[in-house]
Amino acid sequence: MRSRADLVAAFHRTMPDRVAQATDLWLGYEQGQSGNLQVLRRLLHTLKGEAHMLELAACGDLAELAEDVIDAVRGGARPTQLTGDSLLGALEGLGLLSASPEAEAAPELEIVKETLRAARAELGGGGPPAGELATPLVPALAPQCDSVHESVLPPRLDQPDAPPDPAQPTARAALDAEAVGALLQELQRLHGEREVIQRRLRESQRMLRALLVEIDPRGADVDRFAERIAKTLGYGAEIERLLSAVRADWSSNEFAAGRALGELDEVVRRASVVRTERLLNQVSLAARSAARMLGKDVEARVEGTGLLDAAVERRLEPALLHLVRNAIDHGIEPADVRARRGKPARGTVAVTVVQTDAAVRVEVKDDGGGVDFARLREVLAPSVPGAAALDDAELIPYLFAHGLTTSRSVGAISGRGVGLDIVAREIGALGGQVRVDSKPGLGTTIVLVVPKNLHGEEVVPISSGRFRCAVPTHAVHSVVLLEDEELLRAPDGPRVRLTSDACAELAPLYALGAVLGDGGPPGPGDAALVLHHAAGLFAVSVDGYENPRLVALVRSEEMPLTSPLVRGVAPTADGEAMLLLDVERLFAYARQAPRDAPFTAAAEQKREPLALVVEDAPVARELLCAILRSMGLRVEEASDGREGLARARAAPPDLVLTDLEMPYMSGLEMVAELRRSPRLARVPVVVLTTAAQEQSEAALRGLGVRAVLSKQRFVEEELRRIIAASLGGA
């Protein structure tokens, strides 16, 4: 059991990742991903609850104020610039508190809270009006955040000493070393088994040669020949036994080798593909930072979804950061210049990512003053003969020359001659192109076109009756040939015995044809795929199967007609279609009819009370479980109301301790469902939450809840007393 100090340390250790996730969620919402708001609210709610339970008041208060702002937006209020700035400032504050807990008393945090209250008031709610803020948010936080900024948020563009090094991209998905190691060990094991098979084959060859000698009738009398034939019968039986073993081993190992190699390829594929949103969020943060450092009012618009090859994304990121920084510094004019030109005070930089079948097209467009070609000619004159006579189009390639800058001084963002040459180098390394269209006084558009490299999906093709289907290779545990000794007619249905070096296991067996409505029950001689599902293994009998292959997949969301059982469709070489099955749904369909497990006396043996903890915040859940175990209780855990209800139905607890606000099913909904079950109607329930309202408390009391406790005022002894009383009176 971890101590409270360990839990506090774990809370602080996970904060940078949570801050980064929350930042991405808000930036994604600003880009039109409205579903992010609910996830962000849930994340802040979890942070608030954990912080209050661990007595980290500053973190809890900051998360609560940010949650209030999100609630206002969810309620229909239109977010403003202050909304985004206050939320991002709050996230920086949480990162600061996590990295430097002693900063809890820093006066700058009060400014953060004041800004959040102002944002809440602006959206329609309590708190001071936005105009009463005495100090801007970001400058107040900046001195405190600089020392921890790298571990909390993506890299800033406001470092004056040196530009970002394009050779050092920010952290991203990498190969799972543990997964790769396990796969390589599997391949080594298969190689060893291959050697055993080869030795068996050599032994069979030796015996066959001896057999040929024995049955050669030349020069032998009839009696001698008869003796030889009798002698070979023993050889024949032994050869048949050896060949049968070789065939079985070869078939099993051939499939296992293909599966292991497929899994290895899948790990590499997953590591080599990243979401576009991560790149765009980096760009959006960089644009905000650059505008802040330069004192310019700039709106950064980003748009694009989908997946990118990691190698492409790794090259695109530094190129895009330089382009955005360059657009804000060189493109967007000062406010007075924009006013004279009749432009809005706020400048705009828009980044759009569009994918085609063969390429990724990225457009960076600003509404600034365009390229200063006159200044460019002036800079080029000493080193480029005839520069003054070059037209604008002929000057554009020089924008990407190393060491070239049109700035008259070195600043925090530009003036070093390092920037657009990095763009040319990174895009060129991908075999891509950079295109520039600039109109003086109107703005500049730079288009990057790079190759696209996405993979298909590897599957195991199977057949059942008239259906041609497939399942993902990663879901296949093994393939077995059903024999009488491997089939077990259990009371709850047929099972197949799976034997390995480690253990023997009985997996439920179903007929794929019966699930699809085109086939009978499984039987001896059938082939069966043993598949992974969420809770273990199950087997489906099939008419046939093929080795794993990579297919181009049409996803179910792209099809005019869909089925919950089908994830997608892949074309075959003969022009037919192969259905990719959803393995989890296949398992659910296969066991539609409930089958009761046989009664065992062990289930009725005397036991310690069982407590079910339903809490979506990991730290809070671990703390509650530790308290219950220290009281001598057995503990089951669930991370949301739906899982809690399923666990309660599977193993009725003696006590339920639950949160209220959880994904998929709330605590209130779960308790209501528990009360509808005769077996669970009288189970004591204790609620521990940050969100109890008078209405919800009344509803909970009506459902027979023993107590409703507040996480903000959490007292362990009070919880222990209530649990003891609940179990004593149950």
In this prediction, residues 410-429 reach a mean pLDDT of 61
In this prediction, residues 440-454 reach a mean pLDDT of 80
In this prediction, residues 442-459 reach a mean pLDDT of 74
Q: How far apart are the first and last CA of the chain?
A: 27
What's the pLDDT band for 505 if we cut at 50, 70, 90?
confident
Parallel, antiparallel or unpaired: strands 610-614 and 634-638: parallel
pLDDT at 126 over 50: no
Poorest-pLDDT segment among 61-65, 170-174, 296-300, 442-446: 170-174
pLDDT at 475 over 80: no
Dihedral sign, Cα of residue 556, residue 559, residue 563, residue 566:
negative
pLDDT at 149 over 60: no
Q: Give the closest residue to 666 by CA, choosing from 640, 629, 635.
A: 640
Share of the chain above pLDDT 90, in %: 8
Show the tokens assigned to 556: 């179910």
Query: 558 with 566: CB under 8 angstroms?
Result: no
Q: Which residues contact 275 (CB under 8 A, 6 or more apart)?
A: 306, 307, 308
- If you count DSSP H runs as helices and E runs as strands, how many of each does the chain have, helices first? 22, 25
Show the tokens assigned to 150: 């790298």
The pLDDT of residue 613: 92
The pLDDT of residue 76: 86
What's the pLDDT band for 268 if we cut at 50, 70, 90?
low
In this prediction, residues 241-257 reach a mean pLDDT of 61
Higher pLDDT, 528 or 525: 528
pLDDT at 179 over 60: no
Quote the CA–CA distance of 423 and 404 in Å, as a whole number. Answer: 13
The number of beta carbons lying within 10 Å of the beta carbon of residue 77 is: 17
Quote the CA–CA distance of 362 and 356 in Å, as a whole number. Answer: 11
The number of beta carbons lying within 10 Å of the beta carbon of residue 724 is: 11
3-state DSSP assignment of residue 469: strand
Q: Which residues contact 642 (CB under 8 A, 6 or more apart)?
A: 664, 665, 670
The pLDDT of residue 133: 39
Position of tokens 């520039």? 436
The pLDDT of residue 712: 81
Residue 611 is classified by DSSP as E
Higher pLDDT, 469 or 248: 469
pLDDT tens sequence across 564-584 = 788 778 877 666 778 888 877
Poorest-pLDDT segment among 78-82, 549-553, 617-621: 549-553
Indicate the length of the chain as a whole number: 730
pLDDT tens sequence across 657-667 = 998 888 888 88
In this prediction, residues 212-227 reach a mean pLDDT of 53
The pLDDT of residue 551: 77
Poorest-pLDDT segment among 36-45, 444-453, 588-597: 588-597
Poorest-pLDDT segment among 174-178, 289-293, 496-500, 543-547: 174-178
pLDDT at 699 over 50: yes
Show the tokens assigned to 304: 């694009």
Q: How distant, in Å, are the alpha carbons of 134, 600, 609, 648, 729 from that of 605?
A: 68, 10, 12, 19, 21
Higher pLDDT, 328 or 248: 328
Quote the CA–CA distance of 33 and 37 in Å, as a whole number. Answer: 8
What's the pLDDT band for 143 if we cut at 50, 70, 90?
very low
The number of beta carbons lying within 10 Å of the beta carbon of residue 598 is: 7
Quote the CA–CA distance of 425 and 431 in Å, as a whole number. Answer: 10
In this prediction, residues 633-655 reach a mean pLDDT of 87
Q: What is the mean pLDDT of the chain?
A: 74
Rg (the chain; Cα; Å): 34
pLDDT tens sequence across 2-48 = 677 888 888 888 888 888 888 888 888 887 788 888 889 888 988 88
What's the pLDDT band for 194 if we cut at 50, 70, 90?
low
What's the pLDDT band for 366 if we cut at 50, 70, 90?
very high
The pLDDT of residue 717: 85
Q: Give the closest residue to 402 by CA, choosing from 322, 481, 288.
A: 322
Q: Which residues contact 204 (CB under 8 A, 6 or more apart)?
A: 239, 242, 243, 246
The pLDDT of residue 648: 87
Show the tokens assigned to 12: 């602080």
Query: What are the φ/ψ torsions at residue 246 (nearest 5 degrees)?
Result: -65, -45
